[in-house]
Amino acid sequence: MMAESKFSVLTNGILKQNPIFIQVLGMCPTLATTTSAENGLGMGLATTAVLAMSNITISLVRKLIPDKIRIPAYIVIIASFVTMIDMLMHGFVYDLWKTLGLFIPLIVVNCIILGRAEAYASKNNVLRSFLDGLGMGLGFTASLVLLGSVREFLGNGSIFNYHLSDVKMFAMILPPGAFIALGMLAAFFNYLGIRRSKAKKAAK
């Protein structure tokens, strides 16, 4: 475990243990905030910020918190950072704040953050916890941007507001589109995984 390079800690969250496609965590914000690539990016970055900061803090105080009140303590720490991010976004990126709306405070209950705090930050030093949080957050953001781009392209013909096509399937921006788009993407990644494991087996 100690030999695990810091780089691999970082990249772990992007591909191998991608929070959305592999771990199937954090579904609510994924479906709700990916109406466009830009919204997905904003949400992903906000979550990454909270994830990194809370991982650092929890790693710093991990030896001080008694085991029985571990989870409530983590929740309070995470909630504090979320409140901070919420207020910062309210002040500096008002339009994005308005669009994301309810889902910014809901970052608190994003299973990814509590999950990483419990699984990694409570057992590793500050630098590694930070890298882990950063990696998971980047993986989350990348997946959000991917899904957001797909939905925006199919639903509005644009990506990041850059007009690309005139095909506009409005349903993609609406809730059913979210479910179906994510389902298709998940199937696609599953397919890639299956192909890769078949190739490995054939190579043996």
Partner 1 sequence: MATRLVFIFLSAILINNFVLSRFLGICPFLGVSKKIDTAVGMSIAVTFVMIMASIITWLLNILLDMLSIPFLRTIVFILIIATLVQFVEIFLKKTSPALYDALGIFLPLITTNCAILGLALLNVQQNYTLLETIVNSAGAGLGFALALILFSTIRERMELSEIPEPFRGTAIALITAGLLSMAFMGFQGLVKL
According to CB under 8 A, which one of 65, 93, 106, 126 is a site residue for partner 1?
A: 106
Largest CA distance in the chain: 58
Select from 59-67, 104-112, 134-142, 147-155 the region that touches partner 1 (CB under 8 A).
104-112
Cβ atoms of residues 127 and 65 within 8 Å:
no
Amino acid at 153: F
Beta-carbon contacts of residue 185 (< 8 Å; ≥ 6 apart): 21, 146, 147, 150
In terms of Cα–Cα distance, which of 29, 36, 74, 83 is closest to 55?
74
According to CB under 8 A, which one of 61, 109, 126, 169 is a site residue for partner 1?
A: 109
Select from 46-54, 118-126, 134-142, 171-179 the region that touches partner 1 (CB under 8 A).
171-179
User: Quick check: 65 binds partner 1 (CB under 8 A)?
Assistant: no
Separation between Cα atoms, residue 35 and residue 16, nearest integer Å: 26
Cβ atoms of residues 174 and 156 within 8 Å:
no
Positions 143 through 162 that interact with partner 1 (CB under 8 A) = none
User: Quick check: 127 binds partner 1 (CB under 8 A)?
Assistant: no
Q: Is the Cβ of residue 60 or residue 171 nearer to partner 1 in the bound state?
A: 171
Q: What are the tokens at 29? A: 């914000």
User: Quick check: 23 binds partner 1 (CB under 8 A)?
Assistant: no
- Which residues are near partner 1 by CB under 8 A? 24-25, 27-28, 31-32, 71-72, 75-76, 79-80, 82-83, 86-87, 102, 105-106, 108-111, 114, 171, 174-180, 182-184, 186-188, 190-191, 194
